[in-house]
Amino acid sequence: MGKVRVTFLPLNKTIEVDEKDYPFGDHGLPGSILDIALANGIDLEHNCGGNCACTTCHVIVKEGMESLSPMEDDEEDRLDMAEGLTLRSRLGCQAVVRGDVVVEIPD
């Protein structure tokens, strides 16, 4: 465990957190992109409360895909419904940060 950085685009805001502090709240999986975003004042929509039941926390990973937890089947199935889906898409509530990442919050 150690410190990791998450950069949110297009905000160009980088948050540094320590993995030992996970979870920050009760939004998505502990240490997820959504958990980190909300704990640091970044507005990332999450209509279902971070339960992998919608796609409003969809993000596009620009750098560091290997620094995120592996995608589970339920996330993959839900992502199929996301607007603007790319090969680098993840749900913020399910992607647990294990290293430095750069993510884009789509419009």
**pLDDT, tens digit only, all 107 positions of the chain:** 689 999 999 999 999 999 888 888 888 999 999 999 999 999 999 999 999 999 999 999 999 999 999 999 999 999 999 999 999 999 999 999 999 999 999 98
Three-point CA angle 75, 56, 13, nearest 5°: 100
CATH classification (class only), 3-104? alpha beta
pLDDT for 1: 62
Write the Ramachandran bin of 24: left for phi over 0, alpha for psi from -120 to 50, otherwise beta. alpha
Query: Would you say the pTM of this structure is higher than 0.85?
Result: yes
